[in-house]
Structure 1
Amino acid sequence: MALPIIRLIEKRDNPNIALVIRQVLEDLGVPKVGTAYADSALDCMFETYQNPRTAYFVVEKNRVLLGGAGIAPLENYKGNICELQKMYFIPEARGLGIGKQLMEFCIAKAREFKFDQIYLETMEYMVPAQKLYRKSGFDYIEGPIGNTGHFSCPVQMLKDL
């Protein structure tokens, strides 16, 4: 039985990761406006994460994309903070420890890129995700940092690196 692999996104992953992210957001009832659902980058994730100090990882098992997550400099912010972006998994991939592994990849890459902190935004009802973030060292903060355009995400968290 094949184990899931975590690797950097490739151009061929664009349609599949966009589909995974949109499907997960729809399944979770996330608003289509003011969240990752509306991001123009969803259809060109490979190209988006070719910029300096950015990386997006996908998780794949038996050539099926299970999910992904990435980091990039925090938009509209002058400090040395990156954002954990678009961390989503299909239901079959949840609860298997893959999220913890992927989080470790993202944190290691953020350190390699010499960021001081990692920021994220999420929905209040995404409790399992928040549990993973807390276990990974993120703390809740009061209000957003920068301006990601995700005004429908009321929960913000930050981790020192």
Structure 2
Amino acid sequence: MIEYITITKPEDINVLRGKTATYLSLHIQYDDETLDYLKDHLQDEDSLYLIAKEDNTFVGFCSIDSDWWENGYFFLREIFVEPNLHQRGIGKELMQRCIAHAQSCGANGVVTETAFENVPMQKLCKKFGFEEWENPEWDEGITYKLLF
């Protein structure tokens, strides 16, 4: 059974150190710079950071907060599931919890960005009703927006 745990301390993010995922030409690695970035946003008052564990072993992570340039929207920063555990519903559950958190905080919607190559994330966004949105601030991938 998967357990979902809320992270409240910056040092708990270190569980991601060294984690990697590759899809086609996209390679993601949780290095010190990425971890520091996540730790900075953990301090946001309305942030939600979750770790998913199975049998006390890390299997996934997500983070969301309201630090987005459009007022009223939450930014889904990360969803990461161990590559060998895809297609088990972990990413779906993490996404559901992030969306519910944004709704409970009174957000107008959720925005996320993903690489052109990250087809699994694109499929997950579409499954939840996110629509592609032309983001004037970022053109290095696809921005998705879900309105409540």
Q: Would the TM-score normalized by the shorter structure come out above 0.5?
A: yes
Aligned-residue CA RMSD in angstroms?
2.6
Q: What is the aligned partner in structure 2 of residue 160 from structure 1?
A: 147
Q: What is the aligned partner in structure 2 of residue 4 from structure 1?
A: 2
The structural deviation recorded for 1:138 is 0.4
- Per residue, is there more strand in 1 or in 2? 2
Q: What is the aligned partner in structure 1 of residue 120 from structure 2?
A: 128
Percent of pairs with identical residues: 24
Q: Give ranges in structure 1 of 5+ residues lacking alignment.
A: 146-150
Counterpart secondary structure, 1:107: helix
The structural deviation recorded for 1:48 is 3.4
1:9-63 per-position Cα deviation (integer Å, ceiling 9, x unaligned): 254532212332xx12xx334477xxx8678451474563232111111111112
Q: What is the aligned partner in structure 2 of residue 79 from structure 1?
A: 71
1:58-92 per-position Cα deviation (integer Å, ceiling 9, x unaligned): 111112111211111134x1511110111111112
Once the two structures are overlaid, the 10-residue window that deviates more, 66-75 or 9-18, is 9-18
Q: TM-score, normalised by structure 2?
A: 0.83
Contact 2:8/2:49, CA 8 A, preserved across alignment:
no
1:93-141 per-position Cα deviation (integer Å, ceiling 9, x unaligned): 2110111111111011001111111001001121121111111110001
Question: 1:78 & 1:121 partners in 2: Cα distance?
Answer: 14
1:58 to 19, 40, 51: 51
How many residues get paired? 146
- Per residue, is there more helix in 1 or in 2? 1
Q: 1:105 to 1:63 in 2, by over 3 A?
A: same
The structural deviation recorded for 1:144 is 4.5
Q: Give ranges in structure 2 of 5+ residues lacking alignment.
A: none
